[in-house]
């Protein structure tokens, strides 16, 4: 089903002769273990990567994109088997069937790899320098002083400040972006001909992401490194990819120049995916009636964390300062910010999961900030949460139904009533009510998030707090869940507090947006105003960093 | 770090105070009279009473306790009722065998258990893994004295490879010292090999699933380097914890082993002192054991900071 676009739209970097390719994958099939949901993780996938070219491999979770990258590195789990007839050639040399010793010689010398989570991908008990140095110890015969010199030079090339200090730092002492730079230094120090990047910017803040993408582009351009870049984000593709290959359920649907695929996708699935990418321009939204009652109001909310130390006395960290916000019935307020901006702190304060240090939090006019713990029962019902990770926010040992009815029954609903309500809610979130007897692991991520929403709604809350509720979902699923949230909010006239780091998502669902940075609200305006005419420099820098901004994605008509 | 150490050392004081009181009371509130014990079967009531006055046992308990604590503060543990020697010198004589046995055992156990556990984790599900797991179940379930007598029967009595009992001071020749320690150490180490190997396996298994192990593989490192430098070092904290606990258990365990192999160490001394109701000796020994326990814990906490740079006090 590979689109015939491939033949007439080769990348500017690619030579016409495929033997010039750095990487040439042909008819790659990888079988899944017997009891899996499908037979093949990857089926008959073919593509080339030319020197100096960036090929993006795009797909949703389960598309097999990571499996492909691991098979190139020879790092597949034992349960996954590359099938007969598959071929992976590195500069013409066949890697399928190569011995483990030979693959070890190739790793990091000819193929470098970087991973998604810079937090966990580095060894926490070794200094960054030692970890880069190890590559040289393993693969070169350089002396200790030559190695040190080379490592320091590489640390400088990835634009880290104070190379000597970085060398001696442990991973937990530096930021996520810096860690990813260390990973890149490690992967590229021996100048491999191919870099495999498995979602390297997904876990990073948007401004950091922009910097890392820029760095990858710079380094691979200088060295003519071929890059296989795995991502689920079309913004990143628009930013970085020379060509793009679209995968679905292990099959390659479409491959071609990025600009062409993004603007004129051929395959229906690609069209659907690209049109699901949320737009930066907010849609027209009905105005919230100015006489709608205010559900939640925070007045000069402050949250301080005090660290007391035996020797150094007290040190205060201000997580949120002077936050003044309000949400009316039927309104969605978005809080947008990068990690550490204080957006989750505010969410935790208004739900009284943590106590505030100063200021007031009014829920329907009642100050809830200082209500003693034992009187919080009523608040708990009125405010409900939906969390980021639907895989971990449902108890795996309880059926979905048990999870949903637990809250209402706790608040005095009869068993029959609660179960009846649960069935209605399942229909509301468009799931089969018969699924109530099943367990969370039997549902997909998007379905689980729907269950989480149903669970929250079962309490008939006045305020729904969604903390990064769609961030862990694939774009197509994300779109559906966003639509569902919007519909439910309208129908039940809820007030919604929507916490997100993703500007595009905020643009789609929020009536009003507060941008937070370093604990402060730096800009607070209607979504329409904010996105068309950002005032604060921080908001502007966020917009500029968003990948693929200004790119005209194909829209479904 | 230093302020933390100071805090920890100061925290020892209340612990030792409580231990001192409990041991003191337990000895005196349980039946048995040291004076009668020492005087022997033929002694008259007057003889015993005289002895009691001599030993200071006629004073009321609070006075006895005050004298004891006062001497303790000066570092004086008193004199043995039996041997009429300062307790501290008796302990000093017995420390070497016990320490030799304990350290020999723990060294032996770690040497076998850590590599075994690591390999079992690396080859999860293999025959090696299954043997290690089976051994650890057996090691846990068989009592020390049973293992001791079985080893003596097979290796000493039947094969004649090792002496049945006894101890040689390290000053009298290091080879003889080590030779005589092998059998008792083997006996004692069985349970610790089981314990440490199991903990190592679990801990390494968990670490092997971490992302940085995948990174290490992507760097083209060799298996042994990945296992030792990346996996084992990260798995070390729980392993070190269990070794610390093992040492603590070991010290109480030597009481049994020393009596089986007749090694003149602290275990035997404790046993004799309790049987003879030799108050000063028992008090001193338990006081010392407590200090050692607390120190082991402290040392382990310090080792954590060396193993894992994220742990800071």
Kindly write down the DSSP assignment for every residue of A60-91, as one continuous string.
-TTSSHHHHHHHHHT---TT-EEPTT-EEEET
Q: Do A105 and B220 touch (CB under 8 A)?
A: yes
Q: How confident is the model at residue A465 (pLDDT cuts 50, 70, 90)?
A: very high
- Tokens 């760095």 map to which residue? A215
Give the largest Cα separation in chain B, rounded: 85
Q: Are B80 and B87 in contact (CB under 8 A)?
A: yes
Residues A449, A337, single domain; the answer is: yes
CA distance A125 to B311: 10
* In a shared domain, residues A186 and A197: no
Chain A residues whose CB is inside 8 A of the B309 CB are 124-125, 170, 172
The DSSP secondary structure of A246-278, one letter per residue, reads: EEETTEEEEEEEHHHHHHS--SHHHHHHHHHSP
Q: Looking at CA atoms only, how far is residue B241 from chain A in angstroms?
A: 17
Q: Output phi, psi for B168, to 5 deg.
A: -120, 130
Instruction: Give the DSSP H/E element, type plus range, for residue A523.
Output: strand A520-526
Three-state DSSP state, B38? helix
CB A440 within 8 A of CB A447: no
Q: To the nearest whole angstrom, how far is the Cα of A109 from the nearest Cα of chain B?
A: 8
Selected residue of B125, B209, B219, B233 to mutate for chain A interface (largest A Cβ count, 10 A): B219
Give the H/E segment covering residue A138. helix A128-139
Residue B40, pLDDT above cutoff 80? no
Count Cβ atoms within 10 A of the Cβ of residue A351 and give its class: 0-12 exposed, 13-18 middle, 19 or more buried. buried
Confidence grade of residue A138 (pLDDT, cut at 50, 70, 90): very high
Residues 6 or more apart in contact with residue B91 via CB below 8 angstroms:
B77, B266, B269, B284, B285, B288
Q: Are residues A1 and A140 in the same domain?
A: no
Q: pLDDT, tens digit, for every residue of A149-186?
A: 999 999 999 999 889 999 999 998 888 889 999 999 99
Give the domain-ending residue among A275, A296, A312: A275
Considering the domain architecture, whether residues A14 and A129 belong to the same structural domain is answered as no
Cα B131 to Cα B112: distance, rounded to the nearest angstrom? 14
What average pLDDT does range A371-379 have in this prediction?
Answer: 83
Residue in chain A closest to B310 (alpha carbons) equals A172
pLDDT band at A9 (very low <50, low <70, confident <90, very high): very low
- What percentage of chain A carries pLDDT values higher than 90? 47
A459 and A404 in one domain? yes
How many domains, chain A? Answer: 3
| pLDDT value, residue A3 | 44
Structural tokens at position B192 = 């610790």
From A260, A275, A290, the end of a domain falls on A275
The answer to whether the CB of A219 falls within 8 A of the CB of A160 is no
**CB contact, 8 Å: B10 with chain A?**
no
H or E element: which one contains A25?
A: strand A23-31
**pLDDT one-digit tens code per residue, A304-345:** 887 765 555 667 788 888 999 999 999 999 999 888 888 888
Partner A contacted by B211 (CB < 8 A): yes
- B3/A311 touch (CB, cutoff 8 Å), yes or no: yes
CA A391, CA A442: separation in Å to the nearest integer?
Answer: 11
To which H or E segment does residue A42 belong? strand A40-49
Rounded to an integer, what distance in angstroms lies between the CA atom of residue B168 and that of residue B50? 40
Kindly report the number of other CB atoms within 10 A of residue B94's CB atom. Answer: 20
The answer to whether position A157 is within a domain reads: yes
Chain A interface mutation, best of B218, B237, B239, B304, highest count of A Cβ atoms under 10 Å:
B218
**Mean pLDDT estimate for chain A:** 87
Q: Answer yes or no: are the C-beta atoms of A495 and A516 closer than 8 Å.
A: no
Does B229 reach chain A within 8 Å, measured CB to CB? yes
* β-strand partners of A516: A521
CA angle A175, A181, A182 (to 5 degrees): 90
| B309–A124 CB contact, under 8 Å | yes
The answer to the question of residue A217 being in a domain is no
Q: Are residues A160 and A150 in the same domain?
A: yes
Sheet containing A332-336: which strands, arranged edge to edge? A383-386, A463-467, A495-500, A332-336, A512-517, A520-526
Question: Cα–Cα distance between B101 and B252 in angstroms, integer?
Answer: 12
Cα separation, A172 vs A466, in Å, equals 29
Tokens representing A432?
A: 């089969």
Beta-carbon neighbour count of residue A409 at 10 Å? 16
Residues A536 and A450 in one domain: yes
Helix, strand, or coil (residue A23): strand
Do A77 and A198 reside in the same domain of the chain?
yes
A199 and A187 part of one domain: no
Per-residue pLDDT band at A6 (split at 50, 70, 90): very low
d(CA A127, CA A150): 16
Q: Are A496 and A464 in contact (CB under 8 A)?
A: yes
Question: Considering CB atoms only, which of B4, B212, B310 is closest to A121?
Answer: B212
B212 touches chain A (CB under 8 A): yes
Record: contact B221-A138, CB cut-off 8 A: yes
Best residue in B215, B221, B223, B226 for a mutation probing chain A (most A CBs within 10 Å): B215
Alpha helices in A314-444 (DSSP H): 343-350, 377-382, 400-410, 415-428
Average pLDDT over residues A376-383: 86
| Max Cα–Cα distance, chain A, nearest Å | 76
Residue B25 banded pLDDT, cuts 50, 70, 90: confident
Domain membership flag for residue A366: no
Task: Read off the tokens for A237.
Answer: 């593709």
Listed residues A231, A252, A275: the one ending a domain: A275
Instruction: Write down the residue that tokens 């001071």 correspond to.
Output: B169
How many CB pairs lie under 8 A apart between chains A and B? 79
What is the predicted pLDDT for the residue at A7? 42
Partners of B232 in beta bridges: none
Q: What span, in angstroms and rounded, lies between the C-alpha atoms of B230 and A171? A: 14
Bridge partners (DSSP) of residue A367 are A362
Q: In chain B, which residues have their Cβ closer than 8 Å to the Cβ of A138?
A: 219-222, 225
Question: According to the model, what pLDDT value does residue A557 have?
Answer: 40
**Can you give the residue range of the structural domain that contains A167?**
119-191
Q: Are residues A337 and A389 in the same domain?
A: yes
What's the mean pLDDT when you consider all of chain B?
85
A475 vs A271: CA distance, rounded Å: 12
Contacts of B243 (CB under 8 A, 6+ apart): B106, B110, B196
Domain harbouring A11, CATH code: 3.40.50.300
Bridge partners, residue A496, by sequence: A332, A464
DSSP, res A107: B
| Residue A123 neighbours by CB distance under 10 Å | 25
CA B175, CA B177: separation in Å to the nearest integer? 5
Q: Do residues A200 and A56 both lie within one domain?
A: yes
Residue A527 tokens, joined: 């979504």
Output the CATH code of domain B87-307: 1.10.3720.10
A307: its two tokens: 């660290």
Please tell me whether residue A515 adopts helix, strand or coil conformation: strand
Asked whether the predicted pLDDT for residue A261 surpasses 80, the reply is: yes
Kind and range of the H or E element at A333? strand A332-336
pLDDT tens readout for residues B113-127 = 999 999 999 988 889
Do A136 and A206 belong to one domain? no
């Amino acid at each position: 089903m590979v689109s015939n676009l491939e033949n007439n739209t080769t990348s500017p970097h690619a030579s016409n002769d495929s033997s010039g390719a750095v990487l040439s994958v042909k008819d790659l099939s990888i079988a899944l273990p017997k009891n899996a949901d499908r037979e093949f993780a990857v089926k008959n996938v073919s593509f080339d990567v030319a020197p100096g070219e960036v090929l993006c491999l795009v797909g949703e979770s389960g598309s097999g994109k990571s499996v492909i990258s691991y098979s190139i590195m020879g790092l597949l789990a034992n349960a996954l088997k590359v099938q007969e007839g598959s071929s992976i050639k590195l500069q013409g040399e066949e890697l399928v069937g190569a011995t483990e010793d030979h693959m070890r010689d190739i790793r990091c010398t000819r193929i470098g790899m970087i991973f998604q989570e810079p937090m966990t991908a580095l060894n926490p008990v070794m200094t960054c320098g030692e970890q880069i140095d190890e590559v040289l110890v393993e693969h070169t015969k350089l002396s200790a002083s030559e190695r040190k010199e080379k490592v320091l030079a590489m640390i400088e090339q990835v634009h880290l400040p104070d190379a000597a200090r970085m060398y001696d730092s442990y991973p937990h002492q530096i930021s996520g972006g810096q860690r990813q730079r260390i990973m890149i230094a490690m992967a590229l120090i021996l100048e491999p001909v191919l870099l495999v990047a498995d979602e390297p910017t997904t876990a990073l803040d948007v401004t950091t992401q922009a910097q890392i993408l820029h760095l990858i582009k710079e380094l691979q351009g200088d060295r003519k490194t071929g890059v296989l870049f795995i991502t689920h984000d079309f913004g990143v593709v628009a930013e970085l990819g020379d060509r793009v290959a679209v995968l679905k359920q292990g099959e390659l649907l479409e491959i071609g120049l990025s600009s062409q695929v993004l603007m004129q996708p051929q395959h229906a699935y690609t069209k659907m995916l690209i049109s699901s990418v949320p737009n930066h321009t907010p849609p027209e939204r009905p105005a919230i009636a100015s006489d709608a009652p205010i559900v939640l109001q925070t007045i000069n909310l402050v949250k301080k964390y005090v660290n007391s130390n035996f020797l150094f006395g007290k040190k205060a960290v201000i997580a949120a300062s002077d936050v003044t916000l309000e949400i009316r019935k039927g309104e969605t307020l978005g809080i947008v910010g990068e990690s550490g901006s204080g957006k989750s702190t505010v969410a935790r304060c208004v739900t009284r999961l943590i106590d505030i240090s100063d200021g007031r939090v009014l829920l329907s006019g009642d100050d809830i900030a200082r209500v003693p713990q034992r009187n919080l029962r009523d608040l708990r019902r009125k405010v409900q949460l939906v969390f980021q990770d639907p895989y971990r926010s449902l108890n795996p040992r309880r059926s979905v139904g048990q999870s949903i009815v637990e809250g209402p029954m706790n608040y005095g609903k009869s068993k029959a009533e609660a179960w009846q309500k649960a069935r209605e809610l399942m229909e509301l979130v468009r799931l089969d009510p018969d699924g109530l007897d099943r367990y969370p692991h039997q549902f997909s991520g998007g379905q689980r998030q729907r269950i989480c929403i149903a669970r929250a709604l079962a309490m008939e809350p006045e305020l729904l707090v969604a903390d990064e509720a769609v961030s862990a979902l694939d774009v197509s699923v994300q779109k559906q869940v966003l639509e569902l949230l919007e519909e439910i909010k309208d129908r039940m006239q809820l007030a919604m507090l929507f916490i997100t780091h993703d500007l595009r998502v905020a643009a789609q669902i929020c009536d009003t947006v507060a941008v937070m940075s370093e604990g402060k609200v730096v800009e607070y305006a209607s979504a329409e105003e904010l996105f068309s005419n950002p005032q604060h420099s921080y908001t502007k820098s966020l917009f500029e960093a968003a990948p693929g901004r200004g790119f005209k994605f194909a829209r479904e008509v | 770090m230093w302020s933390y150490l100071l805090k920890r050392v100061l925290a020892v004081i209340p612990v030792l105070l409580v231990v001192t009181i409990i041991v003191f009371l337990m000895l005196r509130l349980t039946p048995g009279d040291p004076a009668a014990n020492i005087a022997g079967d033929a002694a008259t009531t007057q003889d015993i009473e005289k002895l009691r006055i001599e030993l200071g046992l006629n004073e009321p308990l609070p006075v006895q306790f005050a004298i004891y604590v006062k001497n303790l503060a000066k570092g004086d543990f008193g004199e043995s009722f039996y041997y009429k020697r300062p307790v501290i010198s008796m302990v000093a004589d017995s420390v070497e065998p016990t320490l030799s046995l304990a350290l020999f055992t723990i060294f032996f156990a770690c040497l076998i258990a850590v590599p075994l556990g690591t390999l079992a984790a690396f080859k999860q599900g293999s025959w090696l893994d299954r043997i290690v797991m089976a051994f650890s179940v057996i090691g846990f379930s068989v009592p020390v004295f049973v293992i001791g007598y079985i080893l003596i029967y097979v290796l000493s009595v039947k094969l004649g490879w090792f002496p049945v009992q006894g101890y040689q001071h390290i000053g009298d020749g290091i080879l003889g010292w080590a030779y005589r320690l092998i059998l008792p150490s083997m006996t004692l180490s069985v349970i610790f090999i089981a314990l440490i190997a199991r903990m190592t396996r679990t801990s390494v298994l968990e670490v092997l699933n971490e992302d940085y192990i995948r990174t290490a593989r992507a760097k083209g490192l060799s298996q042994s380097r990945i296992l030792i430098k990346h996996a084992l070092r990260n798995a070390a904290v729980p392993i070190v914890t269990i070794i610390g606990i093992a040492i603590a258990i070991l010290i109480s365990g030597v009481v049994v082993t020393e009596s089986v192999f007749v090694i003149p160490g602290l275990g035997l001394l404790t046993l004799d002192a309790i049987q003879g109701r030799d108050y000063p000796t028992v008090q001193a020994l338990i006081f010392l054991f407590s200090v050692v326990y607390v120190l082991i814990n402290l040392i382990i906490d310090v080792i954590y900071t060396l193993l894992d740079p994220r742990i800071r006090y």
